[in-house]
C-alpha cells in the first residue's frame, strides 16, 4: 500500500510535469493607426478635420477629411512566410489576404451622403493587381503547406463603405505576433476593391460563410494552446499617438486606472455576433476656469451600444445628439453637424455609465476642428435612424476594453496612456483578472420583436458597372433577409436626374410605406438574459490599407515543443512509478 508521503510526491511530480505542457502565454500584437479618405490616402500623419471644398458646380461645402481609421498589423503566411499587412477589426470575424494576381477594381465616387459618410459609387474600373497588393500578398500556389478547403461556399464579404472582396477558403501555417499557428483558417481573395486584407477577431457567428463554419484566428490561438481563453484586450492609445495594441489572452493592468468592471455582452439574436452591451446613462460635467462645476444629465435612457473600433465617429439617435449639442451651447449647421466652441480643457467631459462601469470621455475627443476657424469645432457624432448607439474610435480611445468571447462579457476601465506594462494572463476558468461584475450584470431581461423572415423587393436604377460612356444602365431587384439587423441600407440612383442617395430603411417602420413587402412574419419572444431589440447597421468594418512595421512572429512549432514536453512527462511518470 502506498504511503501518504509517496502519494504526495507522485501528485507533486505529476502537477509539475503537467504544467510543463502548458504552452499558453500572452500574445501581444502591435498595430499602427492610419487615417485617410480612401485606401490610397491612408497615413499615420493624417488628422481628422473639416475643410471647405468646391464641387464641380462651384458650390463650396464643408467636407469631413480623413474620416476613415485603420489599425494595421503584419502577419506571415505559408511555408515561404509571405508578409502581409492587414487591418485588425473587432467588428468582423474572417481573416483574408490577397493573391498576387488578384482581380483588382476600384469605384468612381461622385457623391458623398452627409448623413452616413458613405461615398456612393457610380461605376467601377479595372485596375492593375498591384493596386490591391501594395501592402503584401500571399502566393498560395508556392506554399507547400497550403490546403484549399473543398466543397464549401465561396468567400465573399462586403462593407458599408462599398468595398468588397471575394475568393476561397483554405488553411496554412501562420505567424501571428510571437505565435506560429500550424493550422490557421482564412480566406484568399482573388477579387477585391481594397488594397489590404482584414484580420477579423470577432465572434464566430459573424463569419461571412453561411453554411461553412470554422475556427478563426483567436479560436485557433486557443486551440493550439497559445492562450487559455478566447479573450483579448484592446488599447487604442491617445489621439496624438500612432500606435496601439491588442493583447490576446491577457490583461495589461498598467494601461488603465481605477476599477476594471465587467458588463455582459448583449445581442439581439440567439447566436452572438456583435460586441455590444447596454449603456444606462450619459452625464456632462463642465469644470475648470469659467466652468459651472455642475453635472448635467444628457440621458438616463438605456441603449444597446456597439463597441466598433472600425468606426471613426460615434453614432447616436438624433434626439440624443441634440442634447449633446444643447449642453455645449452649439447649433445645428448646414454641414449636418453641431457647431460648438473648441475646447482642450480636461475638466470638461462626458461620463458614459454602463451600469456601474463609468468612463470619462473628454469633450476634446468628440470635437472635430475646422481648417478655416480656430474657435469653431464640430461635434463628432453621427445621426442614425434607430434607437441604438455605436461607439467609435473617438470614444473608445478613452477606454481600456477586454473582450471575453468565451464568457460573453466586456470589461471596461479608464484608459491610461503609458508605455509601462503589467501583464497578467487570463485563465481558462473564472473571469477577467482584477475585474468585478457591474451591479446590473444579471439584470438584463428584455422583450423584443424580431422579423425572422422577410422578403422585401426594392427596385432602383443604377449603373451596372460599365464605364459611363457605354450608356448601359438597368434596374435591379434584391431580397433583404437578415434576422440580426433591423435596418437595411438602400442605394438609389436616378439616371435621368443624376440623383444618387443612400438611406437606411427600417424593416419594422417606414419600409412598408415606401416599398413592397411580402411574406412578413413577426414574432415576439422574451429572453431572460442579454437580449434587446435594437441592433446596428453602422459600418461594422472598414477596409483599407497603409504601411506599418508590425511585429513579426518568432518561435518554433508548437508540435515540436509538445513532443519534447510529452517525452518529459512520460519519463517523469515512469520514474515516479518505478520509485514506488
Enzyme catalytic residues: 89, 308
- Residue 402 sits at φ, ψ, to 5 deg, of -115, 115
Residue ranges in 211-317 assigned as alpha helix (H)? 217-223
Q: What are phi and psi of 486, to 5 degrees?
A: -85, -20
Residues 105, 125: contact at Cβ < 8 Å?
Answer: yes
Q: Which residues of 61-72 are buried (b: 16+ CB within 10 A; e: fewer)?
A: ebbbbbbbbbbb
List of residues 6+ apart from 221 with CB closer than 8 A:
27, 176, 179, 181, 227, 230, 248, 249
Q: By CB neighbour count within 10 A (0-12 exposed, 13-18 middle, 19+ buried), where does 408 fall?
A: middle
Cα–Cα distances in angstroms (integers) from residue 9 to residues 4, 287, 569, 575, in the given order: 9, 64, 15, 12
Beta-bridge partner residues of 457: 479, 516
Q: How far apart are CA 463 and CA 122, in angstroms?
A: 6
Handedness of CA 169, 175, 176, 180 (dihedral sign): positive
Grid coordinates representing 499 are 440623383
| Nearest CA among 271, 132, 148, 136 for reference residue 207 | 271
Contacts of 345 (CB under 8 A, 6+ apart): 287, 288, 289, 291, 362, 363, 364
Radius of gyration of the chain (CA): 25
**C-alpha closest to that of 302 among 284, 281, 316:** 281
For 87-120, b where at least 16 C-beta lie within 10 A, e where not — what string?
Answer: bbbbbbbbbbbbbbebbbbbbebbbbebebbbbb
Distance from C-alpha of 542 to C-alpha of 69, rounded to nearest angstrom: 8
Per the CB < 8 A criterion, the answer to whether 278 and 263 are in contact is yes
Amino acid at each position: 500500500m502506498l504511503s501518504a508521503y509517496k502519494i504526495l510526491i507522485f501528485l507533486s511530480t505529476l502537477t509539475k510535469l503537467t504544467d510543463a505542457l502548458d504552452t499558453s502565454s500572452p500574445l501581444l500584437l502591435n498595430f499602427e493607426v492610419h487615417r485617410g479618405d480612401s485606401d490610397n490616402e491612408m497615413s499615420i500623419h493624417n488628422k481628422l478635420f473639416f475643410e471647405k471644398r468646391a464641387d464641380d458646380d462651384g458650390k463650396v461645402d464643408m467636407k469631413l477629411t480623413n474620416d476613415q481609421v485603420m489599425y494595421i498589423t503584419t502577419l506571415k503566411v505559408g511555408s515561404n512566410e509571405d508578409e502581409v499587412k492587414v487591418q485588425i477589426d473587432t467588428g468582423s470575424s474572417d481573416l483574408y489576404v490577397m493573391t498576387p494576381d488578384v482581380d483588382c477594381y476600384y469605384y468612381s465616387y461622385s457623391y458623398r451622403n452627409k448623413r452616413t459618410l458613405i461615398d456612393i459609387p457610380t461605376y467601377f474600373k479595372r485596375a492593375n493587381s498591384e493596386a490591391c497588393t501594395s501592402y503584401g500578398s500571399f502566393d498560395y500556389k508556392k506554399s507547400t503547406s497550403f490546403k484549399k478547403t473543398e466543397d464549401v461556399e465561396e468567400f465573399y464579404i462586403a462593407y458599408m463603405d462599398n468595398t468588397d472582396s471575394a475568393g476561397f477558403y483554405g488553411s496554412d501555417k501562420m505567424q501571428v505576433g510571437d505565435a506560429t499557428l500550424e493550422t490557421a483558417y482564412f480566406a484568399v481573395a482573388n477579387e477585391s476593391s481594397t488594397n489590404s486584407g482584414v484580420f477579423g477577431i470577432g465572434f464566430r457567428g459573424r463569419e461571412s460563410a453561411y453554411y461553412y463554419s470554422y475556427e478563426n484566428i483567436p479560436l485557433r490561438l486557443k486551440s493550439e494552446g497559445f492562450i487559455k481563453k478566447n479573450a483579448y484586450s484592446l488599447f487604442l492609445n491617445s489621439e496624438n499617438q500612432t500606435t496601439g495594441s491588442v493583447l490576446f489572452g491577457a490583461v495589461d493592468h498598467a494601461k488603465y486606472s481605477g476599477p476594471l468592471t465587467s458588463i455582459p455582452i448583449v445581442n439581439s439574436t440567439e447566436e452572438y455576433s456583435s460586441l455590444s452591451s447596454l449603456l444606462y446613462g450619459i452625464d456632462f460635467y463642465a469644470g475648470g476656469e469659467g466652468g459651472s462645476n455642475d453635472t448635467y444629465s444628457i440621458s438616463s435612457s438605456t441603449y444597446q451600444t456597439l463597441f466598433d473600433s472600425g468606426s471613426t465617429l460615434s453614432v447616436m439617435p438624433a434626439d440624443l445628439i441634440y442634447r449633446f449639442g444643447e449642453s455645449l451651447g452649439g447649433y445645428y449647421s448646414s454641414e449636418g453637424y453641431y457647431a460648438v466652441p473648441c475646447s482642450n480643457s480636461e475638466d470638461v467631459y462626458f461620463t458614459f455609465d454602463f451600469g456601474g462601469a463609468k468612463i470619462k470621455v473628454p469633450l476634446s475627443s468628440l470635437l472635430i476642428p475646422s481648417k478655416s476657424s480656430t474657435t469653431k469645432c464640430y461635434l463628432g457624432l453621427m445621426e442614425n435612424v434607430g434607437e441604438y448607439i455605436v461607439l467609435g474610435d473617438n470614444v473608445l480611445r478613452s477606454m481600456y476594453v477586454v473582450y471575453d468571447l468565451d464568457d460573453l462579457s466586456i470589461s471596461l476601465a479608464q484608459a491610461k496612456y503609458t508605455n509601462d506594462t503589467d501583464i497578467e494572463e487570463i485563465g481558462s476558468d473564472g473571469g477577467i483578472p482584477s475585474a468585478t461584475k457591474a451591479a446590473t450584470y444579471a439584470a438584463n431581461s428584455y422583450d423584443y420583436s424580431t422579423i425572422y423572415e422577410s422578403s422585401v423587393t426594392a427596385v432602383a436604377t443604377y449603373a451596372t458597372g460599365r464605364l459611363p460612356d457605354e450608356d448601359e444602365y438597368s434596374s435591379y431587384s434584391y431580397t433583404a433577409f437578415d434576422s440580426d439587423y433591423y435596418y437595411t441600407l438602400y442605394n438609389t440612383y436616378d439616371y435621368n436626374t443624376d440623383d444618387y442617395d443612400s438611406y437606411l430603411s427600417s424593416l419594422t417602420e417606414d419600409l412598408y410605406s415606401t416599398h413592397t413587402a411580402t411574406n412578413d412574419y413577426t414574432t415576439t419572444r422574451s429572453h431572460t438574459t442579454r437580449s434587446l431589440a435594437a441592433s446596428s447597421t453602422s459600418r461594422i468594418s472598414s477596409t483599407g490599407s497603409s504601411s506599418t512595421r508590425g511585429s513579426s512572429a518568432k518561435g518554433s512549432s508548437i508540435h515540436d515543443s509538445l513532443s519534447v514536453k510529452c517525452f518529459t512527462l512520460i519519463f517523469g511518470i515512469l520514474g515516479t512509478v518505478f520509485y514506488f
